[in-house]
Structure 1
Amino acid sequence: MFKKICFHVALIAVLTGCVSSPAPLRKGRVYIGKEGKQYMLYREGRPFQVRGAAGIENLAALHAAGGNTIRTWDTLHLGRILDDAYANHIAVIAGFPMPVSSFLPYYNDTAKVAAQYTAFRNVVNRYKSHPALLMWCLGNEIDFPYTPRYNHFYKAYNHLLEMIHREDPDHPVTTALINFNKRCLYNIRFKVTGLDLVSMNIFGELRHLQRDLDKFSWFWDGPFLITEWGINGPWESEQTTWGAPVENTSTWKAEQYLQLYRRYMPVKDPRFLGACVFYWGNKQEVTHTWFSLLTKEGGATETVNTMQYLWTGQWPAHRAPALKYMLLNGKGSRDNILLTPNSLQTAEILLADTSTAPLQITWELLAEDWHTKNRDEPNTQQPVGFNSLLLKAQGNKVTFRSPGKEGPYRIFATVSDNKGHFATANTPFYVVSQ
């Protein structure tokens, strides 16, 4: 009995130490301070809350909308990005790319780990004095497992973390997790030494974040950032019967961004240091419009207008066109539209405000993007197009010929005004051979 009591006392002492141990608060050019329960990020001696975006371009537009931070995922062109950010009054969360922890052949290879260490140290020493640098992010969604087979990963990670703090004591270091992950938080507390804060990439699960933070505060109550947030990803969305995710119009997405932030962003949590909306730029992820808040030329969606309102409290003088929905032969995206090959079809866009003028509609017909390198890496190249099948566009409608080859496709519409704004909608369909 005495041994059991001693064991329980020791266990409580260990857990209590883990719970109550403070986050590593450092003083430097950028640091995290704490008064009572309130955490605050300080930059050059002044409080700084991240009003950020995930992306590396269109930084003048970000500043004009009231944003102040970007986050990157790697160090490619980091010098140019930092210079561009500084010129546009934007701070940078600079990401160090690391293989996921389960890639054991990499972490068990001492030569590769040593080369990574040297490369990261060179980057730190090259850019640690840049005035645009806000903090370092060591790894993006790399996962923090428990079992001893990952010891080499933890050894390499802690070695890098110690090096960054030694070479650059002026900037905090974070890492980005997928959602609110209790398992990773447990293992970070027990196996990682020196992270200044934890970051999360979170989309549909944002609705539950405050609840999760409150329930787990007994174990982890440190400061956090949200390094990616946004609408439901394709992996979280409704699907057609053939597995194509249903994408909402850009107008509806803008409303979702607004409500997500207002209702679920934990802005009143004393541990919250800010958030980065996803994605400030143009990218292909299932479609080229799902997360893209801007065109390649810098045109802005209504979500950019929404972020300006959330960051500044003011809507812009001119807002993007508003759409109700798209119809294909009178049916919507959720109607599991089946078409015969080489047959005439009609798609149309319904505008929410028909008084807005002038507007230009661009139509595209693309194959469905079903290609992935693996489960965690979506294709980044736009799938093959069939725009030669677009026959006649008139007003808000287009007539097209369905592809001759059986398979999944989408028809896209982009509605642009003459003030640098655009709106998007698309409808998936499946061509069934006779």
Structure 2
Amino acid sequence: MHLAPKKQRLFVTLALTLFIFGRAAAPCFGSDSGLLPSRGMQPADIAAAGTTAVPVSIRCEEAGFQLYRAGEPYYIKGIGGQKHLAMAADAGANSIRTWNARQAGSILDRAQGLDMTVMVGIWLSHDPSDYRDPAYRQRKRDDLSRLLAAHRNHPALLMWALGNEINLQGADTPEAWRFVDELAQLIKRRDPHHPVISVIASGRQALENIAAYAPTLDAVGINAYGTLSDVRAMIDTTAYQGPYIVTEWGVNGHWEVRRTDWGRPIEPASAKKVEYHIKRYRENILSNRDRCIGSYVFLWGQKQERTPTWYSMFIENLPGDDPLAVACPTVDAMHFNWSGLWPANRAPFVAAMTINDTTADSDITLMPGEAFVARVAAADPDNDNLRYVWELMTEPSVLGRGGSYEPRPDVLENITDGKRPMLELSAPAQSGEYRLFVYVLDENGHVGTANVPFAVSPSHTLKAENRHSTTGNS
């Protein structure tokens, strides 16, 4: 067909407009996406098949991607962790993420009792050589086949997640992603009722590799902390055209923050963590619902990762005789995010902590045995009486990588019955790196936290011998 130059220009302009705005309005219809308008079996298909599975699918609609469960729209309001599930359900959460399948049956049963669902994780190696090893690949096929046989029809199953951040430590290779795609195909042959995803540490190259080598995946899980605000723009500029789930998010990662002169990360107080959770959920998760089909906040529990409080939304190992876990203010924040309402009673507000009226970003160094005064700025939204528990710890000498196990550091001293927001103490006699924690408790099972790292050195010149990188999830 021949067009006059003016008409040619008009035709090209119209075509570009339709291309650009058509993709923006319905990203799931990208011509190179390989996606179907509906992914997964529908309720009528499941009933005809005579299975107890609750059907889950991802559909492409005019407004973008939509997750469905039992034929109804389902937006993931999820937690990462397997503890305090009743509290999660009461706060408005509807789904649980696991990183492996070791206790899949138990967590699926517990979730069903709370009307929640489970994204079941299937652990995959981070070692790229394993994906060239026939024995490893066969072992994973066999393990997966047994897992599917045992749990594919469980009513609480939401989807399967192949691997967690295999791109982080070297396995972001064509061989690895081809094997992920092979496992995804195996799942779909045995279980056509549930979507299959893989979880990555946020990164452009992994998305490009998934688009090229793992097209069977129904969605991608992305773990992002301080870079969560950049995730959508990053995805939109890659060849990957499918939906995504934010599978880990929360405060800034310990690799993303300012460090002391001797290389230790500075943790925000719990009030700042609340700000992060409210702002990021609204601006970086809910605002992208045309492509983001939900999220799992990290961590609904407690773990030691650089500190015992950094990612923890509960404190389960309080100093002293407190037997029960207490909830941090980030639990309140998620209650608000999921339900639109704050809980009836909220955790203490802890804004800052100082040593000798100096904040952590001033690189505090004390002489051995030097007396000092710590203070915490705290208040309670409900005017509850507050108690101050203090704990002095060494800094960890063995560091996990990519979320791997990290032993809890030694405790040198704790004061469990503090009535005032201040503490008079003496620095350890031995030179080294330390951190002072405060736990501000109300009378209703809540806690606010803060900590300050400091060094002890006769010369006040302690420096990092091996400063850790401030980029990368390490």
How far apart, CA to CA, are the structure 2 residues paired with 1:331 and 1:428? 11
How far apart, CA to CA, are the structure 2 residues paired with 1:401 and 1:274? 48
Contact 1:391–1:398, Cα closer than 8 Å, also in 2:
no
Structure 1 equivalent of residue 5 of structure 2: none
How far apart, CA to CA, are the structure 2 residues paired with 1:185 and 1:395? 51
Partner of 2:211, secondary structure, is helix
Partner of 2:327, secondary structure, is coil
Q: How far apart are 1:426 and its partner, in Å?
A: 0.3
Indicate the larger mover: 302-311 or 421-430.
Answer: 302-311
**Does residue 370 of structure 2 align to residue 343 of structure 1?**
yes
Question: What percentage of residue pairs aligned between the two structures are identical?
Answer: 33
1:340-370, CA deviations, whole angstroms, 9 ceiling, x for partnerless residues?
1123222121224598232111110001124
How far apart, CA to CA, are the structure 2 residues paired with 1:22 and 1:221? 8
Contact 2:128–2:173, Cα closer than 8 Å, also in 1:
no
Q: How far apart are 1:151 and its partner, in Å?
A: 5.4
Contact 1:41–1:47, Cα closer than 8 Å, also in 2:
yes
Structure 1 equivalent of residue 72 of structure 2: 46
Q: How far apart are 1:247 and its partner, in Å?
A: 0.8
Q: How far apart are 1:265 and its partner, in Å?
A: 2.4
Q: How far apart are 1:399 and its partner, in Å?
A: 2.0
Task: Give the residue type in structure 2 aligned to 1:361.
Answer: Y
Instruction: Provide the aligned length of Structure 1 versus Structure 2.
Output: 411
Task: Give the residue type in structure 2 aligned to 1:228.
Answer: E
Q: How far apart are 1:402 and its partner, in Å?
A: 1.4
Segments of structure 1 that go 5 or more residues without pairing to the other structure are 1-15
Task: Give the residue type in structure 2 aligned to 1:406.
Answer: S
Structure 2 equivalent of residue 109 of structure 1: 133
How far apart, CA to CA, are the structure 2 residues paired with 1:18 and 1:111? 37
Structure 2 equivalent of residue 210 of structure 1: 232
Contact 1:393–1:399, Cα closer than 8 Å, also in 2:
no
| Residue 362 of structure 1, aligned match among 389, 393, 397 | 389
1:388-412, CA deviations, whole angstroms, 9 ceiling, x for partnerless residues?
6x69955122222211221111000
Q: How far apart are 1:146 and its partner, in Å?
A: 11
How far apart, CA to CA, are the structure 1 residues paired with 2:214 and 2:346? 46
Pairs within 5 Å for 1:234-245: 234-245=254-265
Q: How far apart are 1:17 and its partner, in Å?
A: 8.7
Partner of 1:387, secondary structure, is strand
Q: How far apart are 1:154 and its partner, in Å?
A: 4.1
How far apart, CA to CA, are the structure 2 residues paired with 1:116 and 1:20? 28
Task: Give the residue type in structure 2 aligned to 1:75.
Answer: A
Q: How far apart are 1:281 and its partner, in Å?
A: 0.7
Structure 1 equivalent of residue 399 of structure 2: 372
Q: How far apart are 1:257 and its partner, in Å?
A: 1.1
Structure 2 equivalent of residue 184 of structure 1: 206
Indicate the larger mover: 288-297 or 153-162.
Answer: 153-162
How far apart, CA to CA, are the structure 2 residues paired with 1:60 and 1:54? 14
How far apart, CA to CA, are the structure 1 residues paired with 2:73 and 2:196? 18
In structure 2, the CA distance between the partners of 1:308 and 1:145, relative to structure 1 (3 Å rule), is closer
| Residue 22 of structure 1, aligned match among 32, 35, 50 | 35
1:82-111, CA deviations, whole angstroms, 9 ceiling, x for partnerless residues?
1111111211000000002x430x223222
Segments of structure 2 that go 5 or more residues without pairing to the other structure are 1-28, 43-54, 317-323, 460-474
TM-score by length of 2: 0.81
In structure 2, the CA distance between the partners of 1:414 and 1:129, relative to structure 1 (3 Å rule), is same
1:4-51, CA deviations, whole angstroms, 9 ceiling, x for partnerless residues?
xxxxxxxxxxxx996253257222511111222421111111110001
How far apart, CA to CA, are the structure 1 residues paired with 2:113 and 2:382? 38
Structure 2 equivalent of residue 6 of structure 1: none
1:198-233, CA deviations, whole angstroms, 9 ceiling, x for partnerless residues?
1100111112223324444xx333111111111111
| Residue 245 of structure 2, aligned match among 219, 222, 225 | 225
How far apart, CA to CA, are the structure 2 residues paired with 1:275 and 1:391? 36
Partner of 1:361, secondary structure, is strand
Q: How far apart are 1:155 and its partner, in Å?
A: 4.5
CA RMSD of aligned residues (A): 2.5
**Does residue 59 of structure 2 align to residue 33 of structure 1?**
yes
Structure 1 equivalent of residue 343 of structure 2: 316
**Does residue 101 of structure 2 align to residue 81 of structure 1?**
no
Q: How far apart are 1:172 and its partner, in Å?
A: 0.5
| Residue 195 of structure 2, aligned match among 147, 172, 176 | 172
Structure 2 equivalent of residue 159 of structure 1: 182
Partner of 2:209, secondary structure, is helix
How far apart, CA to CA, are the structure 1 residues paired with 2:254 and 2:170? 29
Q: How far apart are 1:237 and its partner, in Å?
A: 0.6
How far apart, CA to CA, are the structure 2 residues paired with 1:114 and 1:399? 60
Task: Give the residue type in structure 1 aligned to 2:240.
Answer: W
Contact 1:391–1:399, Cα closer than 8 Å, also in 2:
no
Q: How far apart are 1:415 and its partner, in Å?
A: 0.7
In structure 2, the CA distance between the partners of 1:52 and 1:431, relative to structure 1 (3 Å rule), is same
1:122-162, CA deviations, whole angstroms, 9 ceiling, x for partnerless residues?
01110111111100000111129999x95543453233222
In structure 2, the CA distance between the partners of 1:391 and 1:126, relative to structure 1 (3 Å rule), is closer
In structure 2, the CA distance between the partners of 1:302 and 1:151, relative to structure 1 (3 Å rule), is closer
**Does residue 119 of structure 2 align to residue 93 of structure 1?**
yes
Task: Give the residue type in structure 2 aligned to 1:114.
Answer: Q
Partner of 1:409, secondary structure, is strand
Structure 2 equivalent of residue 125 of structure 1: 149
In structure 2, the CA distance between the partners of 1:247 and 1:187, relative to structure 1 (3 Å rule), is same
Indicate the larger mover: 205-214 or 399-408.
Answer: 205-214
How far apart, CA to CA, are the structure 1 residues paired with 2:452 and 2:156? 41
TM-score by length of 1: 0.88
How far apart, CA to CA, are the structure 1 residues paired with 2:230 and 2:173? 30
Partner of 1:19, secondary structure, is coil
In structure 2, the CA distance between the partners of 1:398 and 1:155, relative to structure 1 (3 Å rule), is same
Contact 2:161–2:199, Cα closer than 8 Å, also in 1:
yes
In structure 2, the CA distance between the partners of 1:316 and 1:144, relative to structure 1 (3 Å rule), is closer
Structure 1 equivalent of residue 472 of structure 2: none
Structure 2 equivalent of residue 295 of structure 1: 315
1:265-295, CA deviations, whole angstroms, 9 ceiling, x for partnerless residues?
2534412201111111111111010111112
Contact 2:210–2:240, Cα closer than 8 Å, also in 1:
no
Structure 2 equivalent of residue 59 of structure 1: 85
Q: How far apart are 1:337 and its partner, in Å?
A: 0.5
**Does residue 285 of structure 2 align to residue 258 of structure 1?**
no
Indicate the larger mover: 31-40 or 86-95.
Answer: 31-40
